[in-house]
Amino acid sequence: MSDMMIKYINIAAILLFVFGCEAPRENPLDPENPNNSFTSITGTVRTVKVPNQPINAVTVYWPNANIVVETNSSGNFSIEDLRPLDGFLYFEKEGYSRDSIFINWASRKSVTVLQQLNSTPKLINGNITSSVENRFPAVQVYRLIVDAQIIDDENDIDSVFIKNDDLGFIGNLSNVSVTVFHNTFTPAQMNIISVDDVIGKVFDIIAKDANGKTFSIANLTVKRIIKESVETITPANNEIVSDSLTLNWRRFTPGYSFTYSLSIFTNTVDPELVWEVNNISSNEILFVVPEILTPGEYFWVVWVIDEFGNKARSRPASFIIQE
Span 100-135, pLDDT tens digits: 999 999 989 999 999 999 899 999 999 999 999 999
DSSP class of residue 256?
Answer: S
| Domains in the chain with CATH codes | 20-117 (2.60.40.10), 122-221 (2.60.40), 232-321 (2.60.40.10)
Q: Which residues pair with 116 in a beta bridge?
A: 46
Question: pTM, whole model, 2 decimals?
Answer: 0.75
Provide the residue-wise pLDDT of the chain in tens; the chain has 323 residues: 556 555 555 555 554 554 445 545 455 545 455 555 689 999 999 998 889 999 999 999 999 999 999 999 999 999 999 999 999 999 999 989 899 999 999 989 999 999 999 899 999 999 999 999 999 998 999 999 999 999 988 888 999 999 999 999 999 999 999 899 999 999 999 988 888 899 989 999 999 988 888 999 999 999 999 999 999 999 999 999 988 899 999 999 999 999 999 999 999 999 999 999 999 999 999 999 998 899 999 999 999 999 999 999 999 999 999 87
Q: Which residues pair with 297 in a beta bridge?
A: 320
Beta-carbon contacts of 252 under 8 Å, excluding residues fewer than 6 positions away, are: 228, 230, 258, 260, 282, 304
Measuring CA to CA, how many Å separate 106 from each of 86, 87, 90, 199?
Answer: 9, 12, 20, 57
Q: What is the DSSP string of 224-285?
A: --------EEES-TTEEE-S--EEEE-----SS-EEEEEEEEE-SSS--EEEEEEEE-TT--
Distance (Å, whole) CA 73 – CA 311: 50
Q: Which of 108, 112, 61, 109 is nearest to 87 (CA)?
A: 61
The CA-CA-CA angle for residues 222, 259, 171, to 5°, reads 25
